[in-house]
A and B are shown apart, each in its own frame.
Chain A
Amino acid sequence: MADVITGNGKKLVGTSVRRKEDPDVLLGRETYTADLKLPGMVYAAIFRSPYAHALLKRVDLRRALALPGVIFGITGDSLPDFLKPMSLSPYRNVEWAELKVKNPQMNYFPHVCLARERVRFVGEPVAAVVATDPYVAEDALELIEAEFDPLPVVTSVEQALQPDAPLLYEEWGDNVQLRFKVSGGDVERAFREADLVVKETVISSRYTGTPMEPRVVIGRYSAEENYLEVWDTTQRTHSVSMFVRNSIDLPDLQVRVITLRVGGGFGQKRGFYSEEVLIPLLSILTHRPVKWVETRSEHMVGTSHGRQQVHQMEAAVKRDGTVLALRDRILADLGVAYPTSGTISVMTTLMFIPGAYRIQNYEGELLGVNTNKTVYGSHRAFGKADAAYAIERFMDVIAQELGMDPAELRLKNFIQPHEFPYLCVTGSRYDSGNYPQAFQDALKRAGNEKWREEQKRGWQQGRYLGIGVSLVIEPNSASKVATYNAGHYGVRMQMDPTGGVTVFCAGNDEGQGHGTAIGQLVADELGVEFDRVHTVEGDSLLCPFGSGSYSARFAVVGTSAVIMASRRLKEKLVRIAAQVLGVGVEEVRAEGGAVEVLKDPSRRLSYQQIAQVAYFEVLRLPAGVEPGLEVLYYYIDSNLQAADLRKVPDERGRYAVYSTFPYAANVAVVEVDVETGRVRLLEYVSTDDCGRMINPAEVVSQYMGAFAHGLGGAFYEELVYDEGGQPLAQNFKDYLVPTALEVPRVKLAHMETPNPFTPGGFKGASETGAVGPTPTIANAVEDALRPLGVKLRRIPITPAIVWEAIQKAKGLK
């Protein structure tokens, strides 16, 4: 790995500059939110519902409050009047309502930060205590007396949709929180013209992100200043400041949210949570700084889950393999209706079912269904992983029905390179790509043909080898009007009088290495040294307003804002220098951290000299140029703002949601032990295209982390609930996260198709690693077991599932 650190001459973007962030994190010198200790700090512990569904008869804190060291306690019924229901919307209101959109149809329930009257999932916050010591707070929880009256429990979408199902939110009349339909083309006709109609149900189980650092919230309120500071391990610093402000309705309250280094987000830290209101509220009510550190057991039930979807799919196909049309009906198990973005996430799934294929006839319908489980929220590759899983599994089913090689079928239907930018049937514009090339490359590097031969030999000897292929897209950089995520990214760039650059950024970093990337970009654009570029993120008052870090927004709109701000700053430096040097702006150029006269490069001013003029000799500035060297730039996503794209759903539900479309072609080779159901992954090959790479080493490391998570989804990770709604995976003993021992080497290669809509050509990297394994491995396992006629319709693929599927196939034969 190259260790380039100067910006002189050689460009840094595209090289594997060593990450600025690593030394502090790896050597244990970093300050995480849980490390903070403020004078007078007290500790909150949360009493959570042990029932999946029950009436809350009584919560009695008296014994808990009598424990020495306990200073405060609160229940849903004792919340103050200024405490308002929580909402996803910046308008403190229902999503989309402002836009008069009828599709999607979303129900809203005014949940407050502690349950009232009723509990709806195991882990729901019911009461909180505050003590001078976290151990005492924990002891106090055991003294809380709560009485519940259990209600019938809903634990699956099928059950939730029964006409006589118990209702979670009676006022809605059913258990459907979200209805959404999207369609394009003439689906009816396509089905009439089809040679064959293929149907299948594809299921993915509930799993989650389990960041190494669970959530932490600290609140500190100053009554004198009516000023509330919140330290929060969120992916959305500014949005949380609005969320807190909207939920705590104290007149003229000033809120500042600060996010320190975050130990992994994976979408789980993107949702809004009760604790983000509750803990600040407790600091307001106790006049003390209050700290809450989530335990792992709390995290497994209190932080959002993802992925649980049932897809009822249908395809109209021609004998030659052309897919004329698709239908999908998604039943998503949303858990309870708390304000995380699970609803938007499953809508995203519905939008990208057509995947990498030239399918212009599509009809999708979505029911977001409530059950007595933890809320469904954003989870790595937000709904897109689910779409890729469904379509890539379904393509294999189609291939089998046609008796066609799954690779052939895909090659037949890919969007072709010359068709980009490509308008997807659901309204987004795919920026660029070359699917056939990536796919052929992966097949070739995997040794597809060699494996096919070995597979045939193996089958004769009772050895079951399987080859699975996929091409997954991972749409990046979302935006939606009238939400926090309006598609912009703000950057304030400041050159100080010594020539050093500080970049204040609207997002924050959960491990992606923003500081390193910004250093590379600014070094290249401005010609300052990499080490002189400093990044500040995660402060809702100090940094420009933004919606946070997710959806690879940093790599797409964030880097664009950094580039544009650098260019603006450079213009100002050039203008000032030209004036001081007594020449016109067209007679100078910026080069290597200085501005020099083109005809006589010995006449030059270093950035430091220019900065000194800007700050200390302001009378020498050109007319109309403000003192100081500071630029504010809000970049708008150009592939979403374009005039010809729909910003809100049209009558058929179509609109542009994502602006750039990284993808990866994947091949997995597995061997199945048919006696035990054990699957071994022998080979995983991926050809990945994230556009231009800013830092290839970073792309690889992010990819491998994502891949481990994808592998978890394929083989291990599942949030199982029993029929009573009790979660069975409440810690890492039962929730299996792959470790280094489970993660094989990936044969990873990159293709770089630049994004034509961003100044740097970047698309956002690596979440393809989390998306690819589930369909690719499932395809491979099913392929291995073809002689037995085994169907696998759900993930994770555990030995028990595989063995039972084999038994089932045997029974049918």
Chain B
Amino acid sequence: MFPARFNYYRAESLPEVLDLLARHGSEGKILAGGQSVIPLMKLRLASPAVLIDINRVRELQAIAGDERGGLRIGALTRHHHMEIKKWPRSLALLMDAARDIGDPQVRNLGTVGGALAEVDPAGDWGPVMLSLGARVRAVSPKGERTLPIDELFVDAFTTCLAEDELLREVEIPPLSDGTGTAYLKMERKAGDFAIASAAVRVNRSPDGRCQDVGIGLGGVGLVPLRARGAEDLLRGSNLEEELIREAEESVRKECEPLADIRGSVEFKRQVVGVLFRRALKIALRRAQGEEVEAGHV
């Protein structure tokens, strides 16, 4: 472990973070869980001159409900906390996703905010938050803004955040009754990033109609993707088997996978379609109040 020389600052509060960002934003990097940035520094693929450690900043660590019945997840929330939290059944996908990220060491340190800010094309929180229609709140010395999660992801490993901007929290909008969610990931072995993954949020009215649906895809593009075409097909439908197959094909067409060590373009298209279909079925059963394991693919 031989990173290049760097300076290290530890912030104790949010104002201190903002102050450090104002001074070092351009040459520095925020250190959250360190599970992405430290490995890069170790391999000297990144050599920031400054690290701004935010781990002591309490304001960034909370998970809280908001006035409207939504949820705010502080950027520093560890994957592990997402894994052990008792979520309402409608948010079961948060547990599905959290428990398969990396290994226990990665989950104990890695954070939701760090993972979203990293924009790893195969990361897990991206598709999950896309399917939920989440928004992110960012702060900088200049002020604060809230933006839809879709806008955060600009390119692989690139967000729209300014150098001096901190991702503060993720807002998950309230979910209506009868919502079911599921996240399915196919990995090469435990602890690996996804070959492909699919997150589904679906809401069915008592008469069986699909009132709303959100589909997030991972590992099949430069950034996490939202399968809007498939969503449009399903929204308002009766979720007939044939239509689901059609949506599956749409998912395959909408994504833009790259061939790599995890598989060919065709293979990833195949897998993401299957994952979507299976996740949808689990989400639908969960929406009925059934207790269903997302299981492993």
Interfacial residues, chain A to chain B (CB-CB below 8 A):
134-135, 138-139, 142, 295, 297, 673, 675-678, 715-716, 720, 728-729, 731, 733-734, 736, 738-739, 741-742, 798-800, 803-804, 807
- The answer, yes or no, to whether B8 is at the interface (CB within 8 Å) is no
Among B9-17, B173-181, B189-197, the stretch that binds chain A is B189-197
A805 to B236, CA, bound (A): 38
| Residue B60 interfacial (CB < 8 Å) | no
Q: Interface segment, B23-31, B87-95, B266-274? A: B266-274
A residues less than 8 Å from B160 (CB atoms): none
CB pair B190–A804 under 8 Å, yes or no, is: no
Specify which chain A residues have a CB less than 8 angstroms from the CB of B271 in the assembled complex: 676, 799, 803
A738 and B267 contact, CB distance less than 8 A: no
* A594 smallest CB distance to B (angstroms): 55
Q: How many angstroms from the CA of A798 to the CA of B266 in the assembled complex?
A: 15
List of A residues within 8 angstroms of B44 by Cβ: 138, 142
In the complex, are the beta carbons of B190 and A677 less than 8 A apart? no
Q: Mark B240-275, 1 if CB is under 8 A from A, else 0.
A: 000000000000000000000111101100110010
Once the chains bind, are A799 and B195 in contact (CB under 8 Å)? Answer: yes
Contact B263 A134 (CB under 8 A): no
Contact across chains for B264 and A739 when beta carbons are under 8 A apart? no
A742 adjacent to B274 (CB under 8 Å):
no
Provide the bound-state CA to CA distance between A739 and B266, in Å.
Answer: 29
Rank and list the top 6 A-B pairs by shortest CB-CB distance, nearest first: A800-B263, A138-B2, A741-B190, A800-B267, A675-B274, A736-B189
CB distance from A218 to the nearest CB of B (A): 18
The answer to whether B297 touches A673, judged by C-beta atoms less than 8 angstroms apart, is yes
- Chain B residues whose CB sits within 8 angstroms of the CB of A134 once the complex forms: 2
- A and B contact pairs by CB, cutoff 8 A, 13 listed: A134-B2, A142-B4, A295-B2, A675-B274, A677-B267, A678-B297, A716-B189, A729-B261, A734-B261, A736-B188, A739-B191, A742-B189, A807-B266
Majority secondary structure of chain A interface residues (helix, strand, loop or mixed): loop
Residues of B within 8 A of A139 (CB): 4-5
* A739 cross-chain contacts in B, Cβ below 8 A: 103, 189-191
In whole angstroms, what is the CA distance A804 to B261 when docked? 14
A799–B188 contact, CB under 8 A? yes
User: Which B residues are within 8 Å of any A CB, using their own CB?
Assistant: 2, 4-5, 39, 43-44, 103, 186, 188-193, 195, 261-264, 266-267, 270-271, 274, 297
**Inter-chain contacts of A673 with B (CB < 8 A):** 297
A673 to B275, CA, bound (A): 12
Cβ–Cβ contact B192 & A736, under 8 A: yes
Give the CA-CA distance A799 to B189 in the complex, in Å.
11
A739 to B192, CA, bound (A): 11
- Sample of 6 more A-B contacts, CB < 8 Å, known A736-B192, A807-B266: A135-B2, A728-B261, A733-B193, A741-B190, A799-B195, A803-B271
Contact A676 B186 (CB under 8 A): yes
CA distance A398 to B43 in the complex (A): 48
Q: Which B residues are CB-close (under 8 A) to A741?
A: 189-191
- Closest CB of chain B to A745's CB: distance in Å? 16
Assess A720 versus B261: contact at CB under 8 Å? Given A675-B270, A676-B297.
yes
Contacts of A135 in B (CB 8 A): 2, 5
A738 touches B263 (CB 8 A): no
Docked Cα-Cα span, A741 to B195, in Å, equals 18
Complex-state Cα separation, A574 to B5, whole angstroms: 68
CB distance from B156 to the nearest CB of A (A): 15
Which of B43, B189, B264 contacts A738, CB < 8 Å?
B189
Q: Which residue of B lies closest to A135 (CB)?
A: B2
CA distance A297 to B264 in the complex (A): 25
The answer to whether B43 and A297 have CB atoms under 8 Å apart is yes
| A800 lies within 8 A of B186 (CB) | no
CB proximity of A626 to chain B, nearest CB, Å: 54
Residues of B within 8 A of A800 (CB): 195, 262-264, 267
Complex Cα gap A799–B268 (Å): 10
- Which residues on B sit within 8 Å (CB–CB) of A733? 39, 192-193
Contacts of B261 in A (CB 8 A): 720, 728-729, 734
Known: A135-B2, A139-B4. A799 touches B190 (CB 8 A): no
A733 to B264 alpha-carbon distance, docked (Å): 18
Determine the chain B residues whose CB is within 8 A of the CB of A678 once the complex forms.
Answer: 186, 297
Residue among A720, A729, A804 making CB contact with B264, cutoff 8 Å? A804
Task: Find the A residue at minimum CB distance from B186.
Answer: A676
CA distance A380 to B188 in the complex (A): 23
In Å, the complex CA distance between A800 and B191 comes to 18
Nearest Cβ distance between residue B296 and chain A, in whole angstroms? 9
Residues of A within 8 A of B103 (CB): 739
Of chain B, the residue at the smallest CB distance from A800 is B263
Q: Are A798 and B188 in contact (CB under 8 A)?
A: yes
Instruction: A716 to B192: give the CA distance in the assembly, Å.
Output: 11
Complex: chain B residue closest to A680, CB-CB: B296
Q: Which residues of chain A are near B39, meaning CB under 8 Å? A: 733
Looking at the assembled complex, report how far the CB atom of A405 sits from the nearest CB atom of chain B, in whole angstroms. 32
Instruction: Give Cα distance in the complex from A734 to B260, angstroms.
Output: 11
Most chain B CB within 10 A, of A677, A733, A799, A803, is at A799
Please report the C-alpha to C-alpha distance between residue A472 and residue B74 in the assembled complex, in whole angstroms.
55
Query: Which residues of A sit under 8 angstroms from B262, Cβ to Cβ?
Result: 800
Determine if A799 and B274 form an interchain contact, defined as CB atoms under 8 angstroms apart: no
Chain A, Cβ-Cβ closest to B278:
A675
- Across the interface, which residues of A come within 8 angstroms of B270, CB to CB? 675-676, 803
Residues of the B chain whose Cβ atoms lie less than 8 Å from the Cβ of A736: 188-189, 192
* Assembled-state Cα–Cα distance A406/B4 (Å): 58
Pairwise interchain contact A716-B188, C-beta atoms closer than 8 A:
yes
Cβ-closest chain A residue relative to B4: A139
Q: Specify which chain A residues have a CB less than 8 angstroms from the CB of B267 in the assembled complex.
A: 677, 799-800, 803-804
Expressed in whole angstroms, the Cα–Cα distance for A121 and B190 within the complex equals 31
Write out the residue numbers on chain A whose beta carbons fall within 8 Å of the beta carbon of B43: 297, 731
Q: How far is the CB of B193 from chain A (nearest CB, A)?
A: 8
- B274: which A residues are within 8 A, CB to CB? 675-676
Chain A residues contacting B4 (CB-CB under 8 Å) are 139, 142
Which residue of chain B has the shortest Cβ distance to A722 in the bound complex?
Answer: B261
Return the chain A residue nearest B263 by Cβ. Answer: A800
> In whole angstroms, what is the CA distance A138 to B41 when docked?
13
Distance (Å) between the CB of B162 and the closest chain A CB?
29
A206 CB to nearest B CB, Å: 13
Residues in B with CB closer than 8 Å to A729 are 261
A159 to chain B minimum Cβ distance, whole angstroms, is 20
Please name all residues of chain B whose beta carbon is closer than 8 Å to the beta carbon of A716 when the two chains form the complex: 188-189
Report the minimal beta-carbon distance from A494 to chain B, rounded to whole angstroms. 43
- How far is it, in angstroms, between the C-alpha of A483 and the C-alpha of B108 when the chains are bound? 52
* A715, A716, A742, A803 pick with most chain B CB within 10 angstroms: A803
Nearest-Cβ distance from residue B77 to partner chain A, whole angstroms: 24
The minimal Cβ–Cβ distance linking A80 to chain B, given in whole angstroms, is 28
Report the nearest B residue to A716, measured CB to CB.
B189
Least CB distance, A682 to chain B, in whole angstroms: 14
Would A799 and B263 be within 8 Å (CB), given that A736-B189, A738-B189, A742-B190 are in contact?
A: yes
The distance in angstroms between the C-alpha atoms of A296 and B274, with both chains bound, is 36
Question: Shortest beta-carbon distance, B120 to chain A, in Å?
Answer: 11
Which of A676, A720, A736: most chain B Cβ within 10 A? Answer: A676
Point out the residues of chain B lying under 8 angstroms from A720, CB to CB: 261
Chain A residues with Cβ below 8 Å from B192 are: 733, 736
CB distance from B68 to the nearest CB of A (A): 39
Residue of A nearest to B103 (CB): A739
What is the chain B residue whose CB lies nearest that of A807? B266
Distance A240 CA – B124 CA, assembled complex (angstroms) = 48
Q: Give Cα A134–Cα B43 distance, bound, in whole angstroms.
A: 14
- A142 cross-chain contacts in B, Cβ below 8 A: 4, 44
Task: Please give, as numbers and ranges, the residues of chain A lying within 8 Å of B186 by CB-CB distance.
Answer: 676, 678, 799
Give CA–CA (A138, B4) in the complex, Å. Answer: 8
Q: Report how far A142 CA is from B5 CA in the complex, Å.
A: 13
Query: B residues within 8 A CB of A731?
Result: 43
Q: A278–B39 Cα gap in the complex (Å)? A: 29
- B259 (CB) vs chain A CBs: closest residue: A800
Expressed in whole angstroms, the minimum distance between the Cβ of B107 and any Cβ of chain A is: 14
With the chains together, A739 CA to B39 CA distance in Å? 20
CA distance A803 to B263 in the complex (A): 10
Q: Which residues of A contact B266 (CB under 8 A)?
A: 804, 807
